[in-house]
Chain A
Amino acid sequence: MPNALAVAGLLFQYRANMKNNQSIIDSAISQEYEYGFTTDIDQEKIPPGLNEDVIKIISSKKQEPEWLLDWRLKAYKQWLKMDEPDWSKLNYDDIDFQAISYYAAPKQKEKLKSLDEVDPELLETYNKLGIPLEEQKLLSNVAVDAVFDSVSVTTTFKEELEKHGVIFCSFSEAVQKHPDIIKKYLGSVVPTTDNYFAALNSAVFSDGSFVYIPKNVRCPMELSTYFRINAAKTGQFERTLIVAEEGSHVSYLEGCTAPMRDENQLHAAVVELVAHKNAEIKYSTVQNWYPGNPKTGKGGIYNFVTKRGTCLGDNSKISWTQVETGSALTWKYPSCILKGNNSIGEFYSVALSNNFQQADTGTKMIHLGKNTKSTIISKGISAGKGQNTYRGGVKIMKNADNARNFSQCDSILIGENCGAHTFPYIDVRNPSAQMEHEASTSKIGEDQLFYCNQRGISTEDAVSLIVNGFCKDVFNELPMEFAVEAQKLMEVSLEGAVG
C-alpha cells in the first residue's frame, strides 16, 4: 500500500455536459471546503526537484517526440534565466521550486473493461466530487480511462463529437495523435518566454486538454474539463489548447478543486486559444482550489495561470468568464489579442477573497485590427482579511482604427480588514479609439442590508443575496448549470464574512 498521504496524482477527467444534468458540485455544497479530502490510490511520483533529467523523464514517460522534448528543454533554459515577477500585490513566501515534485500520476494499470475493475478509492473520489453515479456509468471508461490510461478513450460523447470532426482529448493523447496541429499551435499564443510561470509550465507540463473544432462546425455540446490536485508536495502544470477553425463555435468549461493540505501547492497552467475567421470560443472557469485554512491562512493553492487567446481571423470572438472563489493566491490575467478586423474580446470576472486569500487578477485586451471591440466587466469581493486586486490592460495600437473598449470594475468590501485595489493600464495610440473605463469601490450597502433585514431576511442571507446580485452581470455569461454552481460557491465562500 502506498503512503496514505502521498497519494494519487492529478485527477483529470472530461465530461460532456448533458442538457438536464445536475451541476457537478451542486449536491456537494456545504459549509466548509467540501473537496478537501485526499484519495488513497497507488501512484507514481518522481522525487522533488527540477533539472534537465526530470524534464527528460516526464517527456519519456509520455513517449513524446524529440521535438517536444527539445521545446521543453529550451523553455527550461529560458526559465532559468528569468526572474519571478514581483509586480503583483500578492504577498507570499518564496516558492522553493526544488521542493516540488513535477510528475505524479496514478500508476499505469491494465486497461479496464468495466467500472468494477476501477480502484474503489478513485470511484469514491468521484462520489465525493458529486459526480453522479449514473453519470459515472454513462461516462464509464471515460473517467476511468482518462485517469488510468491516457491513451485511448471511447465514450458515447466522444463518438458524437467525432461525427462532427471535433477532437477533444488529453494533451498527451493529442501529442501522439495530432502532432501536426500541436506543433503548429503550441506556444503560438503564449510563447515559452512569455513569463516566468509560462516558461516553467512549458518545461514541465504534465497534461491538459486539447480541443479542435473543424471549419464551420458548431460543437454540439459544451465541453468541460475537471481538474483536481491530489498528491502532496506536487505541482500541477497543465496546458490547454483550443483551436477553432473558420466559422466554428465552441463553449468550454473548466472546474477546479484540491484537497486541504497545510503546505502550499503550486498550480501553474497555460491556456492558449486560437480563433480563426468568424470563429467563436467561449471559455468559462469556476475555480475553487483550496483557499487555505480560513482561521490561520495556512496552506492553499498558489494559482499562477497564463491564459490568452488570439482572435486571428476577421470577425472572430473570444470570451472569457471566470468565477474565482478559491486558491490562497490567484495570479491570472486571461487576455485577448484582437488581430482580426472586427474581432471581439470579452472578459467577465468575479473574484472573491475571503479570510487570508489574495487575488491579483484581470485581463489584457490588445487591439491590433480595425473595428475591434472589447468589454471588461470585473466584480471584486473582499471579505475577512482578503486582498483583491483588479489589474487590467487595454492597448489600442496604431492601426486599430475605430477600436472600442468598455471597462467596468466594481469592488465591494465586507468587513474592516480587507482591501480592494484597482489598477487599470490604458494605452491608446489611435485617436479614433473610444476607450471608457469606470470603477467604483464601496462597502456593502447598509441600506440594502436594512431593507432585507426588514423583510425578515437574516444578515448572512442578505449579504449573499446582495453579493450575488452584484455579480449578476458575470453569472449571466456562464452556462446555466455553472451559474447555479457559481452562485452556491459564492454563498459558501462568504461564510463567516459577516460578524
Chain B
Amino acid sequence: MLIIKNIHASVDGKEILKGINLSIKPGELHAIMGRNGSGKSTLANIITGRDNFLVTKGSITYNGNNLLEMSIEDRALAGIFMSFQYPVSIPGVNNAYFLRAALNAKLKHQGKSEINASDFMRLIREKVKLVNLDESYLSRAVNDGFSGGEKKRNEILQMLTLEPELSILDETDSGLDIDALKTIAEGVNNFRTETRSFLAITHYQRLLEYMHPDYIHVLIDGKIVKSGDISLANQLEEKGYSWLEK
C-alpha cells in the first residue's frame, strides 16, 4: 500500500534522508528504530507532507497514487494518520468539536453524510474509555494544558475515531510511564486488522514488546542499515547501535 523508493530529503540545505527504501503492505506493522537525529521523524513528516522538508530524489506511492503530489489534507483523507511526537495545542478549540470536524471532513470525502452531534458524542464516549481518558477531556481545548501522557492518548483516540489505513506512530512511547504505554499498545493492538497498517517510530524497543511488529528497520544517518524481525530489536537492546555503524 505504501511504497517508498530511494527517498532523499533535506532541510535548510542539509541532507537528512539519504536514500530510503521501504514497502508496507496491508496489515503489517513496521517499526523504525534509530537514535535521535537519525532522520526517523523526517521520514514521518515527509509521508504526511509537512512542507519544511525538501524531497530531492525518489518517490512515494500510496495505493498507486503519487503521494508527494498530494496536499497534507488529501493524504489524511486518503487514510494516512500521524500520531504526533509533540502534538500542538490549539487554545479555545474544544476536543470534541475538533474531532468531529475531522471526522466529518473524512465522511464528506467518502461521500457519506456527516455525523450529527449526538451520534458523535455517543461514538466518542465509547472511544474515550478505550484510551483511559476522562470524559471531561472532551470539553477541554485541543492539547491545551494536557500532560504528556494525555496528549499521546488523545492522539490514539483520534486514530481510533478516524480509522485510518496507515497510522504513523511518531515516538508515541516517549515520555510515557509503563501503564500509559500498555494502554496505548493495547489500543493499537485492538485496532489492528488485516487491512490496517502501522509504521511505529521509536528509539526504544520497550513499545515493541507490547506491539509485536512484523518488521524492524534500523535507521542510521539517513539510511536503513539493517532490517529484520523482532529479534533485531532485542539485539539493539543488548548491543546498542554502534555495531551497525561502519
**Measuring CB to CB, which residues of chain A are less than 8 angstroms from any residue of chain B?**
445, 447-448, 450-459, 461, 465-466, 468-473
Contacts and interface: CB of A to CB of B under 8 A. Distances in A.
Which 3 interchain pairs have the tightest Cβ spacing?
A469-B92, A472-B92, A469-B93
A454 B92 contact: no
B102 A455 contact: yes
B48 A454 contact: yes
Contacts of B49: 453-454
Nearest to A470: B92
B90 interface: yes
Interface string B17-40: 000000000000000000000000
B50 A450 contact: yes
B72 A450 contact: yes
A445 B144 CA distance: 14
A447 B84 CA distance: 11
B75, B81, B91, B106 interface centre (most CB from chain A within 10 Å): B91
Contact of A454 (B72, B91, B97, B141): B72
B72 A469 contact: no
A251 B237 CA distance: 66
A317 B118 CA distance: 38
Interface residues of chain A: helix, strand, loop or mixed (majority): helix
B160 to A, nearest CB: 13
Question: Which of B76, B141, B162 counts the most A-chain CB atoms under 10 A from its CB?
Answer: B76
A494 to B, nearest CB: 15
B158 interface: yes
Contact of A465 (B48, B90, B109, B162): B90
Contacts of B90: 445, 448, 451-452, 465-466, 469
A38 to B, nearest CB: 36
A471 B92 contact: yes
A447 B81 CA distance: 16
A483 to B, nearest CB: 12
A473 B158 contact: no
B92 A447 contact: no
Contact of B92 (A453, A455, A457, A468): A468
Interface of B: 48-50, 71-73, 75-77, 81-82, 84, 87-88, 90-93, 97-99, 101-102, 105-106, 109, 141-142, 158, 162
Contacts of A451: 84, 87-88, 90
Given A445-B88, A469-B141, A455 B76 contact: yes
Given A454-B82, A457-B73, A457-B105, A465 B91 contact: no
B93 A466 contact: yes
A456 B78 CA distance: 9
A453 B141 contact: no
B43 to A, nearest CB: 15
A2 B162 CA distance: 59
Nearest to B79: A456
Given A465-B98, A469-B141, A456 B77 contact: yes
Contacts of A450: 50, 72, 88
B111 to A, nearest CB: 14
A465 B105 CA distance: 13
A473 to B, nearest CB: 7
Given A451-B88, A452-B102, A458-B105, 4 more contacts: A455-B158, A457-B73, A466-B90, A469-B90
A456 B93 contact: no
Contacts of B71: 453
Contacts of A468: 92-93
A448 to B, nearest CB: 5
Given A450-B50, A450-B72, A461-B101, A456 B109 contact: yes
Contacts of B81: 454-455
A456 B73 contact: yes
A481 B93 CA distance: 18
A456 B91 contact: no
Nearest to A453: B72
7 contacts: A445-B90, A450-B88, A455-B158, A455-B162, A458-B73, A465-B93, A472-B91
Contact of B105 (A447, A456, A466): A456
Given A450-B72, A457-B101, A459-B73, A473 B162 contact: no
A468 B92 CA distance: 7
B101 A469 contact: no
A459 B162 CA distance: 18
A363 B125 CA distance: 43
Nearest to A459: B73
A453 B90 CA distance: 13
A478 to B, nearest CB: 14
A453 B50 CA distance: 10
A445 B86 CA distance: 14
Contact of A456 (B87, B97, B106): B106
A292 B87 CA distance: 39
Contacts of A465: 90, 93, 97-98, 101
A6 to B, nearest CB: 45
A210 to B, nearest CB: 36
A445 B93 CA distance: 14
Contacts of B162: 455-456
Contacts of A445: 88, 90
A473 B90 CA distance: 13
A473 B91 CA distance: 10
A472 B140 CA distance: 12
A476 to B, nearest CB: 9
Contacts of B106: 456
A497 B48 CA distance: 24
A190 B76 CA distance: 56
A450 B97 CA distance: 17
A440 to B, nearest CB: 12
A469 B91 contact: yes
Contacts of A455: 76, 81, 98-99, 102, 105, 158, 162
